[in-house]
Structure 1
Amino acid sequence: MEFIAPELKPRRPFRWPAALSGSKPAIFFGGDYNPEQWPREVWDEDIRLMKKAGVNFVSLAIFSWARLEPQEDVWDFAWLDEIITKLGSNGIAVDLASATASPAIWLAQKHPEILPVDEDGRTVWPGARQHWRATSPIYREYALKMCRKLAEHYKDNPYVVAWHLGNEYGCHNLYDYSDDANKEFQAWCKERYGTIEAVNEAWGADFWSQRVTSFDQILVPRHVNGFQNPGRMLDFRRFSSEALLRFCEAERDAIEEICPDKPFTTNFMVSGAAGQGVDYDAWAPSMDFVSNDHYFTPGEAHLDELTYSADLVDGMARRSPWLLMEHSTSAVNWRNINYRVKPGNTVRDSLAHLAFGANGILYFQWRQSQAGAEKFHSAMLPHAGENSQIFRNVCELGEDLRSLSEAGLLDTRLKRSDVAVLFDNESSWALQCDTLPTKKLAEFPEAFTFYRALLDLGITSDVIPVNGDWDGHRMVVVPNIYLMSSKLSQKLEAFARKGGMVIVTYMSGIADQTDRIWLGGYPGALRKLTGVRVEEGFPLGSDFAGTPDKLTLSNGAVAHDYADVVTSVDEGVDVLATYEAPADWGMNGVPAVTFHTFGGGACVYLGCRLNHEDVAGILRPLLPRLGVESAVESSSDVLRVVRVGEDGEDGVTRQFIFLFNRTDHEVQAPLEGTPLLASLASVDEDSSQVTLSSQGVVVSVIE
């Protein structure tokens, strides 16, 4: 019997932070502000420079527990009162944190049982940050007391316009293997499955004699002498995300009971990596507005990865405005090599997030730290001070955001594409399993490959969580959606029957939501839709002599990492490409790409991993057949993003057109509407053409 997963909880009504009294609504601009790191004489200089840059919004007190409660029940709000008053009286609104991201050292010393435990049983001691576990009743007691104290003190403060819950939940304490976590995991399993027999069934517990007879025999996946049970690991990841969410919601509820009239958010960490440890789409309904932290990926994919991530955040926000809570003006501090950004990226990257639905642009942090672990992390005001290129870029951006606010950008939303690329965080967790045909599957997600391929064809797709609203699109891409419920497969079939076009990749529809394989041949739950049958996978690699590391397709594309052994196709399926391989591997002539007419629509199956250039090559001749051919005429060198507004009093829909150069060389593009701003770009005299330098961007408006 298939396990039916619980539905997503209802979404809280969308609420956005209000503008300060006497101020007009504007795009929020600012960042994390940590005045406690600096003597008071610096504070007035900070205010002067914030006003010069156009800063109107800052996050405060994120890591301030030790300042706010230096000893148990000894409270000091005077310094925070002072800086909030300075900021607010100068037109700068405050997003006030719950200050619980890292507890004071005295708490950890008094109650070491709040500290996380790793899978080897070692205690994670204070000295970095997030040294607490979400399942500790003692930590919850102290954290909620902090929340209530802050709420009581600032509930009527006119300069506090939003509450910032925690900070990057799970960044350093996602997985905890303590006794507290074990007890809560047992309770979570009972709540999810109801009976112990259902757990045994879901986890395939008869394998390796892992059957249990009561919930108190369930263990978190601590260190073992072999491979972990995949079903248990998948559920532990779900549990860990939910445990942090429940803690976050407890903080929200404690503050809201006292201060109900201000919106709540917390900063997600959505990026182009192969999924996130926290299931943010399941978290989004618990927020009044969605916020995200995003740090650029160096190299040639910089802009594509950034826009993919921003697009996905917009999908999680269900097209309501969202806040970019953190990004960087230049280098970060936590990579092996911390590359600086190219000139122009400070403005371009921020405008890219804005184009994809953000109504606020914030950085970590305002003033670059003089000491501590992040002292080499770039900031809005760098070590070099006011007379620096970074600060001049920040001031330029502040002016750009002011212009866009005055032009009415706040009243617009990202325009929907005809094409949706689906993203499933739980499938990405399942593909991190150690016992799959190849560990290469856990690398950069197939969703990103398709997103880039579509950009190469001039199509800006929507990246949408699999539980989101995608059935109104013309075409849907199903990339490595490994976990597939019968409900989802039936929804995809219904989509195709109504005329929708579906693209399905290898490693999709393989298992149900408990990671039990759909029998009868891959792609399991999608066999009917795709019209193909796969008997086994064909991993590719060069770690042993004589093993193939690639397969050439008859259309010239080259498969790497993984291919399907397609043994049969249904009647009516067109084979569009096959493999050309040595006979001894049994892959010569095996179907690689197929087309299946299904109801009023169709399904394309791509049975191997390709780079984005080869995916684009396969899609290019198919797009007219899939009904999205008009988009092919756009230039792949230029990323075009549109935000649209409601009809104004004159009945005309306002559109903001963002044009970004995707290349490292100068490009030209036609300009639509009236130009509003240009960075590293020039507009010709009659405003019909724009020349974009590398990192260039132009924004225009059509009314």
Structure 2
Amino acid sequence: MNTGLSEGAPTRNSLRGVVSGIAFGGDYCPEQWPRSVWEEDIDLMREARVNLVTVGVFSWGELELEDDVWEFGWLDSILGRLHEAGIAVDLATPTASPPIWLHQAHPEILPMDERGTRFHQGGRLQWCPSSPIWRVYATRVARRLAERYASHPAVRMWHVSNEIGGGNRRCYCPESTVHFQRWLAERYGSVAALNETWGTAFWGHRYGSFGQVEVPLDSESGHNPGLLLDFDRFSSDALLDHYRAERDTLRAAGVSAPITTNLMIKPDPAVADYASWAPEVDVIANDHYTVSSDARREQELSFCADRTRGLSKGEPWLLMEHSTGAVNWQVRNRSKGPGEMMRNSIQHIARGADGALFFQWRASRAGGEQFHSGMVPHAGTRTRIWQDVVQLGHALSAIAEVAETRVEPADVAIIVDDVAGWAWQAGGKPLNGFAPWAQGPRWHGLLGQWGIRAEVLPRTAALDDYRLIIIPGVYLVDETLAARIAAAASRGAVVVVTATSGIVDEANAVLLGGYPGRFRELLGVVVEEFFILQDGEEVSLDDGGAAVDWTSSVLIEDAETIVSYADGTLRGRPALTRRAVGEGAAWFVSAEPNEKTLATIVARVVDDSGVEPPFAVVENLECVRRIGADASYLFVINHGAEPAELVVTGRELIAGIDVGPALTITPGGVAVVRERRRSVGFTAFEPPTIQPAEEHGRSVRPRDR
């Protein structure tokens, strides 16, 4: 696959040459402020030890005042000042926000919604990726920037657009329709193949030509699930084509620095198929914002950070955006408590990020995001947020040597897939409103309570090195992935499949012969029917557990029943099964367990796999290790309200002190310890054993709770 990298282009997923150490800073929008503020900005950046800022994200209207009428003076000036201050720049192409003059001249570039209504000027990402007119203007502004700044000493990285798909995930305009028809012709070759694949005989919706296929505009009843899924695939590909066009324009104009774009990775299905996007960017970058209403925000953050690292194949990545405090787009926008900004940032770095950047440097006085927190808040520098920013900057400077190291490999893999999520969302389901992808974070969080880290991997990842592989709610599974999972079990892995995994094929068509189609042979079971529970209904299991929402009528073909339903319609039928497979095993969870029951299932499969936690578990203490060629670094984060202590010896980098044999972590505190050990290579490294200090930290095994 063409990655767009020329000879001499940067090492993928590396910030080497961009900054020295850990990247720290955020989106900087000097065009929003009078020049009298710029010198103060740079002085404050130095105080906070900022070393990287993203410039130009929303600046198109300030750079190209009219069609092909340019004003680069202000950008020349600020880039020069930043360079003199030793602050590197990630220069963005400003295509996230087209200028008003362009929308006025070419309203046809604006997207259409599913009702066929053209959007109007005034928002961001208001462009259709299939529009040839849009492509001309977008690549022109990218080319002009590259021609002027490709060799500028301040510009160390380039950033294509911003959160692509965040406001224009799908477009239903005539240009998109024609583009979609071409895409389908390339995918299927003949309209007969399309009809067969989508099953258009249902409702008699047979197509006579690709020209008869329309994008799924709103209709009285639901569209064909195959059409909906392919339109989501097409929409992702159209956006990716646009990213490639801008990226390749930058390269052709002389850019040799890393080029990236900021993904939006979360537990829900993403706006694009990031598994196919990942090979196209030089540095995997992500935007992450915690959800105010989530009582387990730190667990969701860890899952998303691990998922980002899965896309980067274990190599370092970049946190392009997070917040210093409250955002402005949730229903109730919660401010962060004391130490929370530090914990959030250190969590991301512990799990593989080589930078922690924010949106944005200064909180805006006006505009659509004026109440989104910034590194410099509205109240200025006599604030806790500013003090926390300065403290974080000094902490990241102190741990600079962690850059370029990798997170310690894990024995557990959790498979996630955006396309499978889209397939579930397309068409009616046995339980509408159910989110099977939520099972991944649940497994991830419970494994974490055991002190066991899990890699969160895309469908394309290699599975050879894992002892426990979880397939949680991956509704669509292709033959290749199913075969690789079965091979892993034969080699000795324990595989766990949940009730909504492997149900449909790549066309979103149900695999016949009983559920879960792709995994029937591996699991040795056949599900003949789903039994959906009503809201608030619960079914007991014979081991004392309970199921909610979803149960399945399971027929045993070649498996052992571990747990059965104890009451309800399926009383006496299998609920949890296990089949020996080669050197490994395959487990099937046929129901949606409640939290306590899922914790018990996690304990069973962990014991079956033989996976051991790398650390003894201390309640509310998160421990992650990063490893380099000559040193290992233990990140410790206390999410609890009580001090915790563990046995570890080394140099605590943030405070700059030697510690050992025990280290106390204050409530809400963090530590990064360069562990004392002999110097060996990465692959030969055997990390020291970390134990809780019994006199202060209580060792907890989740199964005993």
TM-score (ref. length: structure 2)? 0.92
1:14 is matched with: 12
| Matches for 1:216-365 after TM superposition, within 5 Å | 216-272=211-267, 274-298=268-292, 299-365=294-360
Q: Separation in 1 of the partners of 2:176 and 2:537?
A: 42
What letter matches 1:464 in structure 2?
Answer: L
Partner SS state of residue 588, structure 2? strand
Distance 1:695 1:434 in 2: 44
**Equivalent residue in structure 1 for 2:563, among 577, 582, 588:** 577
Separation (CA, whole Å) in 2 of partners of 1:699 and 1:604: 38
| In the alignment, structure 1 residue 438 sits paired with structure 2 residue 431 | yes
Separation in structure 2 between the aligned mates of residue 332 and residue 664 of structure 1, nearest angstrom: 25
Provide the residue aligned with 1:660 in structure 2: 637
Using the TM superposition, give the Cα deviation of residue 665 of structure 1 relative to its aligned residue in structure 2, in angstroms: 4.2
| Cα shift at 1:235 | 0.5
Cα distance change on mapping 1:633 and 1:386 into 2, 3 Å: closer
Contact 1:453/1:613 (<8 A) preserved: no
Partner residue, 2:517: 524
Asked whether the equivalents of residues 560 and 578 of structure 2 are also in contact (C-alpha less than 8 Å), the reply is yes
8 Å Cα contact 1:675/1:687 also seen in 2: no
Contact 2:540–2:566 (Cα < 8 Å) also in 1: yes
Q: CA deviation at 1:666?
A: 3.9
Residues 358-404 of structure 1 show CA distances to partners (whole Å, capped at 9, x for unaligned) of 11110000011011111111111101111111011111111111111
Q: Give the Cα–Cα distance (whole angstroms) in 1 for the partners of residues 423 and 545 of structure 2.
A: 28
- The C-alpha deviation readout for 1:3-30, integer Å capped at 9, x for no partner, is xxxxx7769551644547xxx7221110
Q: CA deviation at 1:622?
A: 3.7
Q: Which amino acid aligns with 1:698?
A: A
Where 1:441 maps in the other structure, the secondary structure is coil
Other-structure match for 1:564? 552
- Write the mapping of 1:63-462 to structure 2, written as runs, cut at 5 A: 63-272=58-267, 274-298=268-292, 299-405=294-400, 408-442=401-435, 445-462=438-455
In structure 1, how many angstroms separate the alpha carbons of the residues matched to 2:659 and 2:133?
67
Partner residue in 2 for 1:552: 540
TM superposition shift of 1:699: 1.2
Instruction: Give the conservation status (yes or no) of the 8 Å contact 1:577–1:593.
Output: yes
Check conservation: 1:502, 1:604, Cα contact below 8 A. Answer: yes
Relative to structure 1, the CA distance from residue 479 to residue 10 in structure 2 (aligned partners, 3 Å threshold; closer, same or farther) is farther
The answer (yes or no) to whether the contact 1:638–1:669 under 8 Å persists in 2 is: no
Q: Which amino acid aligns with 1:375?
A: Q
**Aligned-CA RMSD value:** 1.9
Aligned AA for 1:175? R
2:551 counterpart letter in structure 1: A
The question of whether the paired residues in 1 share the 8 Å contact of 2:437 and 2:472 is answered with: no
Residue 687 of structure 2 is matched in structure 1 by none
Contact 2:224 2:427 in 1 (8 A): no
Of 602-611 and 205-214, deviating more is 602-611
Alpha-carbon distance in 1 for matches of 2:424, 2:13:
36
Question: TM-score, normalized by length of structure 1?
Answer: 0.92
Deviations 1:508-527 (A, max 9, x none): 11111111111111111101
* Partner Cα distance (1:9, 1:464) in 2: 22
Alignment of 1:459-498 (within 5 A): 459-498=452-491
Q: Does the CA contact (< 8 Å) of 1:537 and 1:564 recur in 2?
A: yes
User: Counterpart of 2:635 in structure 1: which amino acid?
Assistant: F
Partner of 2:702: none
Match of residue 597 from structure 1: 580
Tell me the SS of whatever aligns to 1:439: coil
Q: Which residue of 1 aligns with 2:653?
A: 676
Q: Is the 8 A contact 2:498 2:590 kept in 1?
A: yes
Equivalent residue letter for 1:69 = E
Contact 1:421-1:462 at 8 Å conserved across structures: yes
Do the aligned residues in 1 keep the contact of 2:286 with 2:321 (CA within 8 Å)?
Answer: yes
* Alpha-carbon separation, structure 1, partners of 2:427 and 2:640: 37
Q: Which moved further from structure 2: 550-559 or 237-246?
A: 550-559
What letter is aligned with 1:549? E
Shift of residue 466 of structure 1? 1.6
Structure 2 distance, partners of 1:179, 1:11, is 30
Distance 2:642 2:537 in 1: 33
Aligned to 1:628: 611
Partner of 1:37 in structure 2?
A: 32
CA distance, structure 1, for counterparts of residue 126 and residue 282 of structure 2 = 27
Equivalent residues of 2:13, 2:317 under 8 A apart: no
Deviation at residue 672 of structure 1 after TM alignment: 4.6
1:32-91 CA-partner distances (Å, limit 9, x unpaired): 000111000000000000000000100001011100011111100000000011111100
Aligned residues: 670
Show the counterpart of 2:684: none
Deviation at 1:674?
2.8
Of 682, 686, 691, the match for 2:664: 691
Change (3 A) 1:390 1:322: same
Q: What does residue 608 of structure 1 align with?
A: 591
Question: How far apart in 2 are the matches of 1:32 and 1:629?
Answer: 41
The structural deviation recorded for 1:673 is 3.2
Question: CA 1:392 to 1:630, structure 2 compared with 1: closer, same or farther past 3 Å?
Answer: closer
Inter-partner Cα distance in structure 1 for 2:564 and 2:397? 54
Secondary structure at the residue paired with 2:399? helix
